[in-house]
Amino acid sequence: MSSQPRPRPGGRSARVQQSVHQAVRQLEAEVGRGALTVPLVAKRAGVTPSTIYRRWGDMQELLSDVAVERLRPETTPADLGSLRADLEAWAVQFLEEMSSTAGRDYIRDALAGDPDGSNAGQCSAYAVEQVEAILTRAREREEPLPAVDVVVDHVVAPMMYRILFRPGLLDADYARTLVDTALTRLMPPRPSTV
């Protein structure tokens, strides 16, 4: 699985992707996802069905690509002045967005049309980028901090598991408890000053 973001296509390719993604979102809102077909999306996007088949393969892979783009964070995490505050605010927002009905649908779509694991890797890379931004600020403030993998494995991963397989009782307190565990029980030991 790649953890590096896929480069966004440029030129005509970018315009095709944008118009096809927009057509999917519009049609999904208008007719529902069950009624989506490649010819219907192609007509709305102003491309031929063969363009979609060539680029995405089938409807599921197209929905997966759209979902990955919808899961891309639009902003950097808030800077609230401390690692704990930043990480808690980010984790609570992440949990709210991903556990919403739309968030769950995007996650499922991203994974369903992902035969090689690249979409899962891209979604993971989004979370890693956000966590790295928070940890970079903490490092600049000279705060003790956990490794990126500790936060991903002990904050992001449990939330994703619960969102997909045990969605009950997901609230802000759950996200804050995961952050507290990562910051209190999983931090590297501080060097002795004696």
In the three-class reduction of DSSP (H, G, I as helix; E, B as strand; rest coil), residue 36 is classed as coil
Helices (H) and strands (E) in the chain, counts: 10, 0
E strand segments, the chain: none
Please give the pLDDT value at position 137: 97
DSSP 54-77: HHHSSHHHHHHHHHHHHHS-SSPP
Please give the pLDDT value at position 6: 45
Find the DSSP H helices in 72-153: 83-99, 101-112, 118-140, 148-151
CB-based contact 102:33 (threshold 8 Å): no
Among 23, 47, 19, smallest CA distance to 36 is for 23
Which residues, 6 or more positions from 161, have their beta carbon under 8 angstroms from its beta carbon?
none
Q: Which two tokens stand for residue 167?
A: 């969605």
Burial degree of 188 (CB within 10 A; 0-12, 13-18, 19+): exposed
For the entire predicted model, the pTM comes to 0.81
CA distances from 52 to 14, 21, 194 (A): 13, 11, 66
CA distances from 110 to 3, 64, 68, 123 (A): 15, 4, 6, 8
| Phi–psi pair at 139, nearest 5 degrees | -65, -40
d(CA 83, CA 135): 7
| pLDDT tens track, the chain, 194 positions | 333 344 455 677 889 999 999 999 999 999 988 899 999 999 999 999 999 999 998 899 999 999 999 899 989 999 999 999 999 999 999 999 999 988 998 898 888 887 888 888 899 999 999 999 999 999 999 999 999 999 999 999 999 999 999 877 789 999 999 999 999 886 666 655 55
Please give the pLDDT value at position 129: 96
